[in-house]
Amino acid sequence: MPECTDQYIKPLTCKTNETGHLEVGGCDLVELAKEFGTPLYVIDEYTVRQICCDYKKAFSSYKNVNMMYASKALCTMATTALISSEGFGFDVVSGGEIYTVHKAGVDMSKVLFNGNNKSVDELILALDLGIGRFSVDNFFELSLLNELAKSKNKTADILLRITPGIECHTHEYIQTGHLDSKFGFDLTQTDEAVDLILSQYSNLKLHGIHAHIGSQIFETKVYHDEIDVLVKELARINSKFGLKLNQINIGGGLGVKYTEKDCPPSVYDIAGVITKSLDSAVKKYGVEPPEIFLEPGRSVISNAGVTLYTIGSSKQVPKGRLYFAVDGGMADNPRPSMYQAEYSALIANKPDNEALHNVTIAGRFCESGDILIQEIKLPEIEEGDILCVFNTGAYNFSMASNYNRVEKPAMVLVNNSQFDMIVKRESLNDLISHDVVPDRLKNNV
């Protein structure tokens, strides 16, 4: 098996079996498509466990590290239970994610609540369930959280989220650490925030600071720069206010390999940069080594997942593209439409056939921009073939919609030739289950 999971496009157990089909986790993908229908999300348990092990090994030299899986990448009860079993905590960003990890049996003291506009109901839920940390994003939240904690006679343990002024070379929509960002306190505002906590907000206990610099990051120097900013700010706050803050959350964002042209650093690469930068910064600014939190999401789950589709119609544009349409698209994977994301794929029922034609994989939804893969070289394709798109574990199911009133796909977890449905396919009745027709309209139907 490869040394580090995030640098590989396919799940670690992916191979061609004796029938000539692709298999993952010892399970024939063509047979899974027959059993559960398509589109179908498939998650490889072994790959998830392996990347969790990579993270723990890579950071084992630093004494006090908290791995907090970023649930927004993929949040189901089964995947939560799986990642929790590897010793990870959870970074959550909504009441739905809080409720999911709670119902999955997670120790809520190992959960951190993030987000730039947390609702009253979400904050109350988090307080009631004993969330371990709140990453407070703005002055409004400071006041609101203090008021709610006071009403429950509780103290909320918090980190201040700051914008460190660092830009990484990712899509502008997934940059979060630059100064003109909707997230966090500007560095010129942190003194005012700390002063309010100490002088007015007695139901908040400040432990440290938090920053997140982006997503799908391929650089390593940005982590060095971020740590220098965070440790410097921690030392400055401690000195000015006579505090002993000892926690920093450096976020996540490690990139993964979607196509062969992508070259992300390994978990071991970034761990080396982070731990060395921490050692250097604590000496430089004269502070004790802080407890650190990391929030990997995409790199934990992405290449553990594949999505299966059935090929339907085709269209040859005269002197133009050759289109093949699948039975899914932008509703189960909006990333190509949103971010111009690129993917790799094979025909699961003939993965080793020679790739002969450049084709475009189109989705089934009524949008011209519903293109899953702009250009890919594949073998002869026929109606009914099963297309396997790789590296779809992160931000596919979690961003899925019911656009065009289409049911969301099922999800299956595979391991050691065993498969288990972990998310049921939506039914037509599910689609209308929350619809209500007022009585005054019923007589007109």
Query: What are the tens digits of pLDDT across the range 202-230?
Result: 999 999 999 998 888 998 989 999 999 99
Cα separation of 34 and 16, whole Å?
18
Residue-level pLDDT at 170: 46
Judge whether 25 and 416 are in contact, CB under 8 Å: yes
Predicted local confidence at residue 173, as pLDDT: 35
Instruction: Match 């109606």 to its residue by tokens.
Output: 383
Helix orientation angle between 95-103 and 77-84, rounded to the nearest 10 degrees: 60
CA dist list (Å): 250 to 130, 163, 177, 353: 23, 11, 11, 45
Q: What is the pLDDT of residue 3?
A: 59
Contacts of 231 (CB under 8 A, 6+ apart): 248, 278, 281, 282, 284, 285, 287, 290
d(CA 22, CA 195): 59
Q: Please report, to the nearest 10 degrees, the dihedral formed by the alpha carbons of residues 408, 364, 259, 353 taken in order.
A: 110
- Residue pointed to by tokens 């085709």: 314
Q: Which residues are catalytic?
A: 366
Quick one: pLDDT at residue 63?
Answer: 87
- Contact between residue 111 and residue 141 where contact means Cβ atoms under 8 Å apart: no
59 by Cβ neighbours in 10 Å (0-12 / 13-18 / 19+) ranks as: buried
Per-residue pLDDT tens digits for 81-92: 999 999 999 999
- DSSP character string of 93-159: -SHHHHHHHHHTT--GGGEEE--SS--HHHHHHHHHHT-SEEEE-SHHHHHHHHHHHHHTT--EEEE
Angle subtended by helix axes 77-84 and 45-58, to nearest 10: 40
Sorted by where each starts, the structural domains of the chain and their CATH numbers stand as 5-43+303-432 (2.40.37.10), 114-296 (3.20.20.10)
For position 358, what pLDDT does the model report?
95
Strand partners, 74: none
Q: For 248, phi and psi rounded to 5 degrees? A: -135, 140
Q: Give the phi and the psi of residue 288 in degrees, each rounded to 5.
A: -70, 145
3-state secondary structure 233-287: HHHHHHHHHCCCCCEEECCCCECCCCCCCCCCCCHHHHHHHHHHHHHHHHHHHCC
Are 329 and 364 in contact by the 8 Å Cβ rule? The answer is yes
Asked whether the beta carbons of 69 and 297 are under 8 A apart, the reply is yes
Task: Supply the pTM of this predicted model.
Answer: 0.94
Tokens read off for 62: 């630093």
Q: What's the mean pLDDT when you consider all of the chain?
A: 94
Q: Which of the residues in the chain have pLDDT under 50?
A: 1-2, 168-178
